[in-house]
Amino acid sequence: MRKTFIISLLFFCVPFASGPRTLLAAPEGLESLLFEDVPTVTTSTMFEQSINEAPSVMTVISAEEIKQLGARTLAELLYYVTGMDITRYGRFMTTEYDLRAGGGFDRILWMIDGHLIDYIGPIEIGLAGIKQIEIIRGPGSALFGNSAFTGTVNIITKSPEELDGIKVEAGGGSYDADKASAVAGKMLTGDVGVKFLFDQYETKGPETYFPLDAARGYWDPVFGLHTAKTPLTRREGEKMQVFDARLNYSDTYLWWRWHDTWEELYKVNEYMSINPPTYSNSGNRFEIGTVRDEILLGRVHAKAWYSEVRQETQMRLYPEGFDLREVFGIPELYFPDGGRYIENSTSEISGAELRYDTNFFEKHKVLVGFNYQRHKYGDYEAYSQLDMVSGLPWSDNPYALRDVSALLNPASRELYGLFAEYVYPILDNVHLTLGLRHDDFSDFGESLNPRIGIVWNLSDATFLKLLYGSAYQAPTLGTIASDDLKDWRALHGAPELGAENIDTYEINFGTILLSDLKVDASLFHSRLTDLIRLGPERTSAGSEGTPMVHSFYENIGTIENNGSELELGYPLNENLLLHLTYAYIHSQDLSLDRRNPLVPEHKIHGGWKWDFFHGKVFWVLDVFHSSQRSRPVSDRPPHPSSDPDQVEAYTLVNTNIIVKNVLENIFQGSVDLSFSIHNLLDEKYTIYDALAHQAPDIERPGISFFTALTAAF
């Protein structure tokens, strides 16, 4: 009743808050967010074009929208993207990004300014200094190659010329969260520009409690935690730092980026991982590039880069000093250091790209390019104070950290890619885009991916897009070459593995109806084939006669997705914009003849952007609802009365208020104050019946607050 009342009250206030059009002048930039300014994008074809002309289904998030939404992290921001699902899942409950039921963050290509981001684990970028984020909701391998499977996220940062000053931000809120950033950019001369960026976010997290029954019920010694994907955008304790420096000289640039992330992944009760596991990821990227005009009647783009990333996971299975010797009468049940486990790995990528593009006969565009990458993975280490099967200290040296590394030797792969694109004007307002890319891997084979797109611009505001594209995901080195051997189980790589593939067909239509109602609708069909999964188990005799279970990776999975997406925007008056987005997807696992687990069929965002007090105050409200999602076979139901095959539906309400120029009479620059509330209705999303000893889904954090001060000068 309380939740229904709050939602009803908020919507009831809107007509009265909006007021007549004549009372308030239209604030600068409000209505243009939906109608007047059509974003210019580059990710779809590598040519500058309006989003209405781009042969892709796209979402663009501007710097102003990032500010309005009150997001602190990339996960919180992409949560608003149509078709994107942000959840927590897996062995250590890390953040999972899933676009159009594609299967995870590694099937999305992540870039900064068109450059591949090398991350071993979860993506976390920081939001300072961003000009806009361009998201392609669909395949991109015809242009970008590996990993552009179900989507591409390209984070475009501001140039020194666009910054032309300093911007700082500081804030804090619930769960001991704090954020600080500083961005500075300047053109020192007509040819020389510099940019520096520092961004930090830290929180202790909500200290999510995981009852004992849940820990025992969901934990698997090989695959870890099997809870259903919980609808979260926040982890437990988290720290992210980014430092970015760029020097531009004429058409040449030098770029260095350093990042360091630390995460406290989840927390259960005193019998298991009371000292929460931690995950850290740090690395550097160095790049040099140049653009040369008027070469063979076109432009040449050249760049070379090197990046290295190190990942470390640490956990204690028990509290320090954990002692059960008297309880069970077993002398080995004493853990002075808690039973530590440490896992490390490194990744290096070096590469170069050469690209040529030109326009001829004014409207014909041609692009050709070559890409080379060398990936090196090595220094994999795993150490444990406990026997991984019995859970007891080592019998010969009880408290030593013993090497339990999988047999993953240092490995590398090389990739050679050739790509081409042609934009042909069939008519003045109808364009055909043809693209093709061939990638050759040194360790598993080749992949050829085409694209075709027809875009018909009926008017400046109305367009129709007919699109087809294929994409692929290369098998990892671990699935090809490694053997993960334990005392009772072996996971075997398969050198004969091929790439995972997807074919996608899309129709996208956009227009403005009744002078003010903006409509963007799309339909898509995709078929994912040759998905890499573990095949049937085989058993053999292991050491000392104990049975050994063998599992081999195989290309055996097939999934079919059919979906629709709708985005609506309507200005109720000059100061109030209403928005509604809806995403439907039916994802069927044809290999298992069942619904694809963990994919909600319906997702809805609705709310408003309201500018009032002559543009001094800006208020954003967003209501998000996700329907039920089916559970994987390994996920036990949370309550006897619930549907054992379904995870419950849930609703989240977020809001953010910005007060602009709070110090306009005493400060020459601009100072804005923002206040955001996440999960306004305090929806915990947890079911637990202590009497029935039923395990819940891991709890979502409740209501949280954050306030920030931003100054630009």
3-class DSSP state of 561: strand
CA geometry: angle at 569 spanning 565 and 570, to 5°? Answer: 145
Report whether 267 contacts 207 (CB < 8 A).
yes
How much is the CA Rg of the chain, to the nearest whole Å? 26
The strand pair at 130-136 and 58-62 is best described as antiparallel
Alpha helices in 28-126 (DSSP H): 63-69, 74-78
For 98, phi and psi rounded to 5 degrees?
Answer: -130, 120
Q: Measuring CA to CA, how many Å separate 669 from each of 63, 228, 678?
A: 18, 48, 29
Residue in this structure with the two tokens 């792969």, named with its chain if needed: 413
For the chain, give the mean pLDDT: 80
Structure token pair of residue 2: 């309380």
Residue partners of 163: CB distance under 8 A and separation at least 6: 129, 183, 184, 185, 186, 195
Residue in this structure with the two tokens 């042969």, named with its chain if needed: 55
The CA distance from 46 to 435, in Å, is 12
Is the overall model pTM greater than 0.95, yes or no? Answer: no
pLDDT at 360: 85
The total number of residues written for the chain in this structure: 713
pLDDT at 395: 67
* Residues of the chain with confidence (pLDDT) below 70: 1-36, 88-95, 119-124, 206-236, 265-277, 317-320, 324, 326-333, 387-392, 395, 398-399, 406-410, 481-493, 541-548, 632-645, 684-701
Structure token pair of residue 694: 């039923």
The CA distance from 113 to 475, in Å, is 26
